[in-house]
Amino acid sequence: MDHFLYRDGALFAEDVPISEIAAAVGTPFYVYSSATLLRHFKLFDDALDGTDHLVCYAMKAASNQAILKTLAQAGAGMDVVSGGEYMRAKAAGVPGDKIVFSGVGKTADEIRTALTGGIRQFNVESEPEMDVINAVALELGVIAPITVRVNPDVDAKTHAKIATGKSENKFGIPISRASEVYALAASLPGLKVIGIDVHIGSQLTELEPFELAYNKVAELTERLRSEGHDIRRLDLGGGLGIPYTRSNDAPPLPVEYGAMIKKTLGHLGCEIEIEPGRLIAGNAGLMVSKVIYVKSGEDREFLILDGAMNDLIRPAMYEAHHDIVAVQEPAPGVEQKPYDIVGPVCESGDTFAKERSMPPLSAGDLIAFRSAGAYGAVMSSEYNTRPLIPEVLVHGDQFAVIRERPSFDEMINRDTIPSWL
Ligand code: LLP
């Protein structure tokens, strides 16, 4: 459920008409609903009720500080994957002891930043990285809390580009080598082993792969404990999928996911951490765009939008489907027609949808891409010297621009010309 609904024929974000935001900020733009963000966070938080837990929002999904602050005020921790994300979380007021640092390629500088500013734990992905964290911790005279990310070799049954839990993926250490790697960690004086981390992929639409992975983590917890390690925290990653279409085959709900976690891992008495990103932000955001032209091709009609692949790359990159709706609700019974919906970028890949049934649309009409809150704005670029589009946050009947559209001057003046030119 989200808070983007039609009222009297006009699409609203909570209590604000989308057309009002469009008139104020221009198109295209992203708009997020605070109530939806908070609702989704609470679904996870409630699903783990009765268990010592922390929901660490995977801020890579949507990292505007206003979004982080909204979630942090409700009690969320953050999962970060770069020094930049770490700094952004801190800037949004998230305390270091609620920030988890994931990712396969943390640099010594990033590790130093986190150890200096405070960190809940590093999720370590390799032995060389473990050595670097140890060295930086010793240099700073602190002890770095760590988990080791294990790769359980399970098939997440998701898009190949976002599956991470098979042995051929670059992530984690093979679970079969865990004893060896934990022994190494225990021997390094700058580290304190506190738990195990696992993350098998994103947009999972079944519980089974999670359950397979978590059963392996349960077994591993007992084994590592018997080998003398103090395993008291399990970071179970993110990955629960969202419905991208309004069909009936919706992915499992957070409450079902939480029950499965309790069933597979509850007996171990560990603190549970999860890192959901997409489920919190995905359906809490729209990308709103305007039709610039309706162009008749040989055998089809194109809706040419002012939004493009640089603003929302998911269709081009993952063949991802986003529901696209007219901001002005079509009159009942109006006949839909197929359109190819494209952006103005000079690539055929700049296609959002082919033969998509839409009500008849004309130049100037507004449309909205649903489920665009996660991996939308954060993956955008200035390709074709197109400005990054603004982000807007709605809260009841209020809205605020939380990232401005840069001017062309601001963009162009970031270049510097070498002296020989
Ligand atoms: N934790 C770790 C270690 C991750 O790598 C990820 C996502 C998450 C948590 C959050 O997963 P989520 O709950 O959002 O599924 N750009 C792609 C998705 C990439 C996901 C990368 N890792 C897309 O647009 O579908």
Compute, in angstroms, the gap from residue 219 CA to the centroid of ligand 1: 25
Ligand 1 lined by 315 (C-beta under 6 Å): no
DSSP strand pairing (173-174 vs 144-151): parallel
Q: Is 391:32 a contact under the CB 8 Å cutoff?
A: yes
Active site residue 270: no
Compute, in angstroms, the gap from residue 232 CA to the centroid of ligand 1: 24
Q: Which of 331, 346, 417, 421 is an active site residue?
A: 346
Average pLDDT of the chain, as a whole number: 96
Both tokens of 349, joined, read: 């890949």
Measuring CA to CA, how many Å separate 82 from each of 56, 104, 216, 260?
15, 10, 28, 30
Tens-place pLDDT, residues 324-353: 999 999 999 999 999 999 999 999 999 999
- Coil, strand or helix: which one is 305? strand
Q: Which domains does the chain have, with CATH numbers?
A: 4-31+282-412 (2.40.37.10), 103-274 (3.20.20.10)
Report field, pTM of the whole predicted structure over 0.95 = yes
**Which ligand 1 atom lies nearest to the CA of residue 204?**
15
Crossing angle of helices 83-91/108-117, nearest 10°?
Answer: 20
pLDDT band at 79 (very low <50, low <70, confident <90, very high): very high
Tens-place pLDDT, residues 237-262: 999 999 999 766 789 999 999 999 99
Both tokens of 123, joined, read: 């999720």
Average pLDDT over residues 394-406: 98
- What percent of the chain lies above the pLDDT cut of 90? 94
Looking at residue 158, its pLDDT comes to: 84
Looking at residue 248, its pLDDT comes to: 60
Task: Tell me the C-alpha distance between 68 and 94, whole Å.
Answer: 8
Residues in contact with 83: Cβ distance below 8 Å, sequence separation at least 6, in sequence order: 107, 109, 110, 113, 114
Beta strands per DSSP E along 111-206: 121-124, 144-151, 173-174, 191-197
Compute, in angstroms, the gap from residue 90 CA to the centroid of ligand 1: 21
Task: Tell me the C-alpha distance between 64 and 69, whole Å.
Answer: 9
